[in-house]
Structure 1
Amino acid sequence: MTRPRRDPRAERAAIQVAAGPRPRFDRSARAAGGRPRRDPRPERAGQRVPGASRPRYDLSQVVPAQALRGEVAVAAEARQPAAAKILVVEDPAFLVAVVPDAAGGRLSPHDRQVLGAARVLAGREGGILVVSVGPCEACGPAGADRHLALGEVGTDPDERAARVAAALAVASPRHVLFPESLDGGDLARRVAVRMGVPLFDNAEVVAAGGLVRPARGRRVEQRAAPGLLASVAPDAVADYAGPPREARPLAHDLPPAAEPASTILSVARIPADPATVPLSLAEFVASAGNGIRDLDTFRQLVAALHATPGASRVLCDAGLMPRHTQVGASGTVLAATCYFALGISGAPQHLQGVAGCEHVVAVNTDLHAAMIERAGLAIVQDAQAVMPALLRLLAREKQEAGEGS
């Protein structure tokens, strides 16, 4: 079977524009038996970022030529990825319970790792039960099949342990995992004493065949079969990476907790001074880069945000910031919840230092800077203009809060 032979002269005559003394041709028109020719100028114009003094283009915006000519109107919903299917386990053979810290009702990175360890123990037949003291968001995407919320509990750790132990007695899980953190480790030991069950703490290897932890200054390893209670060390197990799960809420009918015979009169968490907290332990870090010229305003903003000050290597090498504030592979590697980068372009060594941060906010004039690409929230603007604006907003909120009280 043969195809018709093309006639270039007829195709050229079909796209010729009649008006004008010189012959002109409409290259965007579809020729007979051919495909339309792309016009890069409208595509480039659609990628240009408005409001910039210099021409800047957002290359992530792919503008199809058909849409520019109005031939095809693609709906925004059609370009969105399909929602992942939720995996439902109707009748699990057994349960593996996880008691997360869930500070502020949100799972921490350590909590997600414990859920990943629970999935290893549960396998295909078991289900994961999250037992949270108070609300806990996003349990399903983290790998939970069931969710048991115990409601708000006071600051007494004995009361908290009593509620968790009562819930575990009703749920009857095969294994119970805690994060080996300040709060999670304390709760795990109190629950173990209350239930009279041994605790395998600080497990660095979690497998269905056994648990492993270091001992004697990490000179030896201790192994044991998975028991009822265990705590998982940070950064020991990967997060759950499978499809989202149901996290079906369970209604609990726990007996009323008796008054715990505790000698603790009051419990209060005293926050450390963020100005003196080491960078490796800081939760919120605000860093200055080469784009910051007014360091006094930067220090005022750090104090107003109650953040820990940091800096890029350029400022530390120049002596403008102390060496212990340097963030990066050659300085301090962060594990902060939020990192606020002001005027930092994002060298590879600096990006290695913020790889463990949960949220990154960046302010930079370069739309294509590496730090802008790494950030979850980016402000394409001069940091020198952003800092005074933030100070004014913070002062206004503080004033409104004072008037409201």
Structure 2
Amino acid sequence: MSRPRKDPRMERAAHLVPGGARPRFDLAATPATSGRLRRDPRAEERLALVPGTLRRRLDRSQRAPAVSVVAVAAPVEAEAAPRRVVIAEPAFLVALVPDAPGGRLSAHDRQLFGAARLLADAGGGAVLALVDGSSEELGAAGADRVLALPITGYDPEAKALALNAALAALDLRHVLFPESAEGGDLARRLAALSGEPFFAGAESLSPKAVTRAARGRRVEQRRAPPRLLSLAIDAIAPHAGSLHEALPVEFAFPETTGGALLSAEFIPADPARVSLAEADFVVSAGNGVSDLDTFRMLVAALGGTPGASRMLCDAGLMPRAAQVGASGTVLEARGYFALGIAGAPQHLQGVARCEHVIAVNTDLHAAMIERAGLAIVADAQKVMPALLRLLGEEGAP
């Protein structure tokens, strides 16, 4: 269907007889056309049809127009660079101590920067990041100043003593911690050393008030923000929109004397025995995985926690505790590897908070493929032994 579109105004102008007082029309004149061609929705749908599938599927991203249309592209404006903020002489400092597992800021750490910026921007202050090492992410996260702590390895007592020295010497109006296993322990150590009031697990924060639920969430505790407080996860949005200088700060830390702890070592838990709610990396099998022995070997080789879709748990092939989804366990993992999982709505709710998602599925249009940051369109039964061979060649544990 390539008939030109009618333009009633042009046709009326072509029939108009000039020179008359009243408008007269010559119906025998040749009508003019606008030149625009009519669209053919059926032809466009045939072009978008994906061949070779049992179910009728359309690939809208590859849709080509049924007729040739000449279009002039509008000039694309260059994306504006983020605004750089420099605070030369801050009125005070709001410090924070991120967990930064593996040297990278977690989502909880970025929310901590958002809370610190909320307190600092209210009165002309600056944000001071107290970290174990340097990181390129601190400026974009919202840090104006960076102070490196003289700590190597896992030593919570020495770290608490160093923070106590900085708290006593520097003008720190607030010190924020993530309410996590490591951050919560460090915050309570610092509160015991300094004698400062400590507010744990804040669920909302403003320059004038901090709140949290108590007594089985039947009451709300509210007070002015103290000097030491820890922030619950998803309480404050991360900082975004401006780039800060993250200027290094020099500070002479005193020599730490021997404490009660002779040695401290962080021993990670066995990922195969960790619950899904606390797992950091989860590998799940779906209906596309039939060789569960190979699946368990791959999970052990990758050092992940095994999970499964509801279909495998309902069939009794995987334990109910391994079910991922709204009716199973909602994950907080940084990494999720889905093998042969199409991605039901309940399952996608269970992986909504995962930072990185990798999916393997034969269906290009599966919901899990769309959710994944890295997708492999292939049979999971063939991908698993190939991954095991690669891991064996690289000498993976």
Q: Same fold (TM over 0.5)?
A: yes
> Any gaps of 5 or more consecutive residues in structure 1?
9-30
Task: Provide, for residues 108-135 of structure 1, a one-character-per-residue CA deviation record: whole Å limited to 9, x for no partner.
Answer: 2221222222233234533322221223
**Aligned AA for 2:177?**
F
- What is the percent sequence identity of the aligned residues? 58
2:186 aligns to what SS in structure 1?
helix
- The answer to whether 1:376 aligns with 2:373 is yes
Distance across 2 between alignment mates of 1:307 and 1:318: 23
- Distance of aligned partners of 1:43 and 1:164 in 2 relative to their CA distance in 1, 3 Å threshold: farther
Distance across 2 between alignment mates of 1:374 and 1:128: 35
Q: For structure 1, which segment, 89-98 or 309-318, has the greater mean C-alpha deviation from structure 2 after superposition?
A: 89-98
Deviation of the 1:48 alpha carbon = 9.3
Task: Provide, for residues 335-377 of structure 1, a one-character-per-residue CA deviation record: whole Å limited to 9, x for no partner.
Answer: 1111111010100011111111111111111111111111111
**Aligned AA for 2:96?**
V
| Residues 205 and 211 in structure 1, CA contact (< 8 A), matched pair in contact too | yes
2:266 aligns to what SS in structure 1?
coil
Distance across 2 between alignment mates of 1:222 and 1:56: 54
Aligned to 2:341: 344
| Residues 149 and 159 in structure 2, CA contact (< 8 A), matched pair in contact too | no
**Aligned AA for 2:225?**
P
**Aligned AA for 1:232?**
L
- Distance of aligned partners of 1:113 and 1:275 in 2 relative to their CA distance in 1, 3 Å threshold: same
- Distance of aligned partners of 1:46 and 1:69 in 2 relative to their CA distance in 1, 3 Å threshold: farther
**Aligned AA for 2:106?**
S
2:390 aligns to what SS in structure 1?
helix
Distance across 2 between alignment mates of 1:290 and 1:102: 36
| Residues 87 and 243 in structure 1, CA contact (< 8 A), matched pair in contact too | no
Deviation of the 1:89 alpha carbon = 3.9
- The answer to whether 1:180 aligns with 2:179 is yes
Q: What is the TM-score of this pair, normalised by structure 2?
A: 0.80
Residue of 260, 264, 267 corresponding to 2:261? 264
Deviation of the 1:257 alpha carbon = 3.0
| Residues 285 and 309 in structure 2, CA contact (< 8 A), matched pair in contact too | yes
Aligned to 1:148: 147
Aligned to 2:188: 189
| Residues 153 and 159 in structure 1, CA contact (< 8 A), matched pair in contact too | no
Aligned to 2:97: 99
Task: Provide, for residues 93-113 of structure 1, a one-character-per-residue CA deviation record: whole Å limited to 9, x for no partner.
Answer: 433211111111111222122
2:364 aligns to what SS in structure 1?
coil
1:270 aligns to what SS in structure 2?
coil
Paired residues in the alignment total 369
| Residues 94 and 127 in structure 2, CA contact (< 8 A), matched pair in contact too | yes
| Residues 286 and 312 in structure 2, CA contact (< 8 A), matched pair in contact too | yes
Q: For structure 1, which segment, 179-188 or 258-267, has the greater mean C-alpha deviation from structure 2 after superposition?
A: 258-267
2:141 aligns to what SS in structure 1?
coil
- Distance of aligned partners of 1:396 and 1:176 in 2 relative to their CA distance in 1, 3 Å threshold: same
> Any gaps of 5 or more consecutive residues in structure 2?
1-7, 15-31
| Residues 284 and 336 in structure 1, CA contact (< 8 A), matched pair in contact too | yes
Distance across 1 between alignment mates of 2:377 and 2:163: 47
- The answer to whether 1:359 aligns with 2:356 is yes
Aligned to 1:231: 230
2:382 aligns to what SS in structure 1?
helix
Deviation of the 1:388 alpha carbon = 0.8
- The answer to whether 1:386 aligns with 2:387 is no
Distance across 2 between alignment mates of 1:88 and 1:5: 61
**Aligned AA for 2:157?**
D
**Aligned AA for 1:103?**
P
Distance across 1 between alignment mates of 2:46 and 2:81: 35
- Distance of aligned partners of 1:289 and 1:170 in 2 relative to their CA distance in 1, 3 Å threshold: same
Deviation of the 1:84 alpha carbon = 4.6
Q: For structure 1, which segment, 284-293 or 133-142, has the greater mean C-alpha deviation from structure 2 after superposition?
A: 133-142
- The answer to whether 1:302 aligns with 2:302 is no
Aligned to 1:158: 157
1:178 aligns to what SS in structure 2?
strand
Aligned to 2:119: 121
Q: What is the TM-score of this pair, normalised by structure 1?
A: 0.79
| Residues 139 and 246 in structure 2, CA contact (< 8 A), matched pair in contact too | no
| Residues 145 and 245 in structure 1, CA contact (< 8 A), matched pair in contact too | no
Q: For structure 1, which segment, 303-312 or 104-113, has the greater mean C-alpha deviation from structure 2 after superposition?
A: 104-113
Deviation of the 1:3 alpha carbon = 7.9
| Residues 214 and 220 in structure 1, CA contact (< 8 A), matched pair in contact too | yes
Distance across 1 between alignment mates of 2:52 and 2:162: 61
1:176 aligns to what SS in structure 2?
strand
Deviation of the 1:171 alpha carbon = 4.3
2:210 aligns to what SS in structure 1?
strand
Residue of 328, 331, 334 corresponding to 2:331? 334
**Aligned AA for 1:59?**
R
Residue of 272, 278, 286 corresponding to 1:289? 286
